[in-house]
Amino acid sequence: MENYKIIFSGPVGSGKTTAIETISDIPPVKTEAKASDEVRRIKENTTVAMDYGRIKLENGDVVHLYGTPGQERFDFMWEILTQEGIGLILLIDNSNPDPFKELNKFLLAFSEFIDSTSIVIGITRSDISPSPTTMEYHTHFGDIISHIPLFTVDARSRNDMVMLIEALLSSAESIQV
Ligand SMILES: Nc1nc2c(ncn2[C@@H]2O[C@H](COP(=O)(O)OP(=O)(O)OP(=O)(O)O)[C@@H](O)[C@H]2O)c(=O)[nH]1
Ligand SMILES: [Mg+2]
């Protein structure tokens, strides 16, 4: 039996806490506080330190799931939470006014971790805002994301979140080979 640690990150409201709630086998540990005015336009609560959950795979392996805060003022947690992680699931809220800018910001912030591990990207809230499409992400970012698995997902969907984890684990394995 193996133990893996993976990290969910991405901007405020992209669905990190929701994703971990959706798939965790145990009641997740959350550190949420009432959002300040700027965030309250999007939702009531925001993560201030971390989320934690756990999922047991069919082969018995256990995946420990850590969610970061989205707000940059808590970005000191990003480095702490990635330690010993084997990969990053980056969730991007497609209904954000500028999702390309948000993706760019997080790719830069996690660049060291991404370079030494693996990454998948999940585009959330596309039901609310279908544009940009996954094709438009690829056109805009070109080589920067051409090797990264990128899917349209809903953080409330267990199937979608399991697919992201499986995609991450299979690219992590191919890196280790
Ligand atoms: N319509 C729609 N709603 C979604 C989707 N994915 C997530 N949500 C909702 O969007 C909100 C996301 O909130 P959180 O999970 O708290 O977001 P977060 O990324 O943890 O945000 P911070 O902790 O503030 O950084 C929740 O209300 C989810 O139910 C989606 O694909 N479509
Ligand atoms: Mg959260």
Q: List pLDDT tens digits, range 124-150.
A: 999 999 999 999 999 999 999 999 999
Mean of pLDDT values over 52-76: 95
Question: Does the beta carbon of 28 lie inside 6 Å of ligand 1?
Answer: no
49 confidence band (pLDDT: 50, 70, 90): very high
Q: Which ligand is nearest to the CA of 39?
A: 1
Query: For position 174, what pLDDT does the model report?
Result: 60
Whether 175 has a pLDDT exceeding 70, the answer reads no
84-109: buried (b, 16+ CB within 10 Å) or exposed (e) per residue? ebbbbbbbbbbbbeebeebbeebbeb
Question: Does the beta carbon of 70 lie inside 6 Å of ligand 1?
Answer: yes
pTM: 0.96
**Which of 75 and 40 is assigned the larger pLDDT?**
75
Whether 25 has a pLDDT exceeding 80, the answer reads yes
Q: Beta 62-67 vs 150-152: how paired, if at all?
A: unpaired
* Phi (first) and psi of residue 55, to 5 degrees: -135, 135
Residue to mutate (ligand 1; options 7, 66, 106, 124; most atoms within 8 A of CB) = 124
Q: What does the CA dihedral 55, 13, 104, 52 come to, rounded to 10 degrees?
A: -30
Q: Please state, in angstroms and rounded to a whole number, the distance separating the CA atoms of residues 157 and 116.
A: 29
Long-range contacts of 29-35 (CB under 8 A, 24+ apart): 29/53
Which residue puts its alpha carbon closest to atom 2 of ligand 1? Answer: 125
Q: What is the Å distance from ligand 2's center to 71 Cα?
A: 9
Mean of pLDDT values over 152-172: 95
Residue to mutate (ligand 1; options 9, 18, 77; most atoms within 8 A of CB) = 18
Query: For position 133, what pLDDT does the model report?
Result: 98
